[in-house]
A and B are shown apart, each in its own frame.
Chain A
Amino acid sequence: MKKLLLGDFAVARGAWEAGVHVAAAYPGTPSTEITEELARYPEVYSEWSPNEKVALEVGIGASLRGARAIVSMKHVGLNVACDPLFTASYTGVNGGLVIAVADDPSVFSSQNEQDTRLTAVSAKVPVLEPSDSAEAKEFTKLAFALSEKYDTPVILRLTTRVAHSQSAVETEERREVPLRAYEKNIPKYVMMPANARVKHVTVELRTEKLSEDANDFSINRIEAGDGELGVICSGGVYEYVKEALPGASILKLGMVYPLPYKLIEKFAESVKRCIVAEELAPHIETLVKAAGIRVEGKEIFPLEGEFSAKLIRERVLGEKSCAACANVPARPPVLCAGCPHRGVFYILSKRKLSVLGDIGCYTLGAVPPLSAMDAVVCMGASIGMAVGFDKSDPEAHRHSVAVIGDSTFIHSGITGLIDAVYNKAKITVIILDNRTTGMTGHQNHPATGRTIKNEDTYELDLAEVCRAVGVRRVRTVDPVDLAATEEAICASLAEEEVSVVIAKRPCALLAKKMYRGFKVNDKCKKCGACLRLGCPAVVKGKEGVEIDASLCTECGLCQKVCKFGAIEGEAE
């Protein structure tokens, strides 16, 4: 049956059809939907892991026991999982192990624009790259087969445009694959120096063999054109090339590492001008040039951002762009109306504190007018950075805080907190506990007490975790109660030890309630205090402040900052 499927859903479908037994992931745009979708299949054990490293380790264990396993993450998630990845490359697999990694060219929802293919080269792990949803499904199935045939984990690399586009997919039925027999095999699976030295040789031979065999893989194919221009490409870029350069010869690479050098050489010789079109790093180009094959690449294409058919026409054919865009006010993403984080950021902004931030919706606390964030680097970094701040400046703990979400704290904030206590830092950590993984679309995590399949489980108590690692000052507040929140933050800043404030209130989007919305009455003095909240529902209109009833969630923050009682409505 033909269905319109999101690239991520197609990966899930492919894994299910391939008989996958175990799926693990930490949510990360644009990869989240793979595991969300897999969780709907009763045949597949699925989990949200606390972070990508644990997810991959679960996958490695499942593979070791003979199961087929898929582990999914975004590009920066692979950094977290690199430690197990690099050595899983040495041990190889028992059941097929596929790692779906979604890169984010143009940085739609990430902190950087790194290229997973380069990580795969370092880890010596093969990479398949689908161009659309149909291929996403097919390549996932192929990845399992290659993983078992070549005894290696296989990376399935997606980009945002492939992961979050929908196209037609012919769905098939699941083929049950029995667990492979488990045999204890110390030389293969115990990576101590004597074994690792031997395995490294195996890995190099495996890569060489794959590179040789890849010349005959049907997913690496030449689409012959007029012989003037040849383009080597893969993934989403293949679709842009097909659209932009209909007459060109194309070498479409389904496997982008290791490369099929003989096929590439043959292709390059068959055309007058040979170009490598690839987003982000010059991965294919560098390897091809190192093999002595003459191609053009980043001489004409950018190193950053997504490509498009238009960009290819401009860079290859010299076509000029003529569309002029209107000069209109920007519309950056903002904390939603009713966001429980707003109260905290309002206080941090008002008190002009330095804020070491973290990854999540609340990164938007950096957006004006709140502008309450000084640094954001990676998952969990806020706490470590706060320790560094504290250790460099004896006064830092009086005017700086670390801010981290509940899911991010579990992902990799806890180790930072242990460091802070162990090394006698004086930092204040604010955990923004909105009871969900917000930015990626509301996934459960250990502190929600629910699994990926929404089953009840042990509910991790964040306050208890903080106390258990040695934090004596843990204060829990409702961030809509501005006075109590400000008091807790100020008390923490005054401490000479690590203190934690847990600002606990569910994400406003979880409520799914109908609201009438607040109204501004004629007591409004147009002082603008409410506008400093940066709430999208509180708007500077022609006649003064207005509240957009279609957005207002009656959280009551604007009432609390108004000194004149000009905002009417009953806070929920």
Chain B
Amino acid sequence: MSMQDVKKTDILIVGVGGQGTLLASRVLGKYALDAGFDVKLSEVHGMAQRGGSVMTYVRIGKDIASPVIDEGGADFILAFEKLEALRYLHYLSPEGQILYSTQEIMPMPVVTGAAEYPRDIEARLPGTGIDALGLALEAGNGRAANSVMLGALCKKLGFDREKFEAALLACIPQKTAEINKKAFALGCGAV
């Protein structure tokens, strides 16, 4: 599937505040706008960012109205954390695909013992799990896990790899370029 073939692509990016979901949505937005599509992104800032559950919407297509993706409407979910993938699974459309990082970050109710981290998440998720943290560490820094996920997404959606990588490099500080390039390549190779 290439983006040129689809009428619209609604991508939901979910994770834990601080994981870089904002950056990922901005890279996608830049890539799509440069490719001549209309794009709308919606982000979460402020209190929710402090280690809370976060979601950002990326809508790519022609004449996008609402920046929000409705439940059951996402063509694609990119999840930076396993539990968050499950939390937002009901946003996936019946034909949608999901790509998730197998990283586990314990939410506070689990930390304190008030709740348990579900053990059967991968069995309940329809898509592909990627060891994004492991691959990012291999690339040189765990914080590049979002670039790993973007690499995997690029491959999965059949985006133009060179142009997508250029969009990524345009959105990050110069000094982290090498690590992120490596992480992106590892992500591409992981699916």
Q: Which residues of A contact B (CB under 8 A)?
A: 2-4, 6, 29-30, 32-33, 108-109, 132, 161, 164-168, 236, 239-240, 242-243, 308-310, 321-326, 328-336, 361, 363-364, 367-369, 439-441, 514, 528, 531, 534-536, 538-540, 548, 550-551
B153 CB to closest chain A CB, in angstroms? 18
CB distance from B50 to the nearest CB of A (A): 4
Q: Tell me the chain B residues, 72-96 only, with Cβ under 8 Å from chain A.
A: 72, 83-84, 86-91
CB distance from A195 to the nearest CB of B (A): 41
B: contact size bracket: 35 or more
**B48 and A333 contact, CB distance less than 8 A:** yes
The reply to whether the CB of B98 lies closer than 8 angstroms to some CB of chain A is no
Cross-chain pairs A/B with CB under 8 angstroms, 15 sampled: A4-B41, A29-B47, A109-B45, A164-B44, A165-B41, A165-B43, A166-B41, A236-B66, A242-B65, A329-B116, A330-B115, A331-B84, A361-B47, A440-B46, A531-B111
Quick check: A536 and B72 within 8 Å, CB to CB? Answer: no
**Which B residues are in CB contact (< 8 Å) with A308?**
66, 68, 70
Q: Which residues of B contact A332 (CB under 8 A)?
A: 52, 107-109
Question: Contact partner of B48 among A32, A109, A132, CB < 8 A?
Answer: A109
Residue in contact with A240 in the complex, picked from B44, B49, B64, B66, CB distance below 8 Å: B66
State in angstroms the CA–CA spacing of A336 and B42 once bound together: 24
| Residues on B with beta carbons closer than 8 Å to the beta carbon of A239 | 65-67
Is A109 a contact partner of B46 (Cβ separation < 8 A)? yes
Q: When the two chains form their complex, are residues A326 and B86 in contact, meaning their CB atoms are under 8 A apart? A: yes
- Is A109's CB under 8 angstroms from B47's CB? yes
Q: Is the interface of A mostly helix, strand, loop or mixed?
A: loop
B30 within 8 A of A: yes
Interface, chain B (partner A; CB < 8 A): 16-18, 26, 29-30, 33, 38-53, 64-68, 70-72, 83-84, 86-91, 105-118, 124, 133, 141-142
Q: If A4-B33, A328-B83 touch, does A164 touch B42 (CB 8 Å cutoff)?
A: yes
* Cβ–Cβ < 8 Å partners of B48 in chain A: 108-109, 333
Beyond A167-B67, A242-B66, 6 additional pairs, beta carbon < 8 A: A4-B33, A108-B47, A168-B39, A332-B108, A333-B49, A534-B112
Flag if A536 contacts B108 (CB, 8 Å): yes
Distance (whole angstroms) from the CB of A9 to the closest CB of chain B: 12
Q: Which of B52, B109, B141 contacts A329 (CB 8 A)?
A: B109
CA distance A108 to B50 in the complex (A): 12
Decide if B65 touches A539 in the complex (CB within 8 Å).
Answer: no
A167 near B39 (CB under 8 angstroms)? yes
A534 touches B68 (CB 8 A): no
CA distance in complex: A324, B47 (Å): 26
> Do the beta carbons of B133 and A328 come within 8 Å of each other?
no
Q: Across the interface, which residues of B come within 8 angstroms of A540, CB to CB? A: 106, 110-113
Q: How far is the CB of A364 from chain B (nearest CB, A)?
A: 6
With contacts A161-B42, A168-B39, A323-B71 known, is A329 near B66, CB below 8 A?
Answer: no
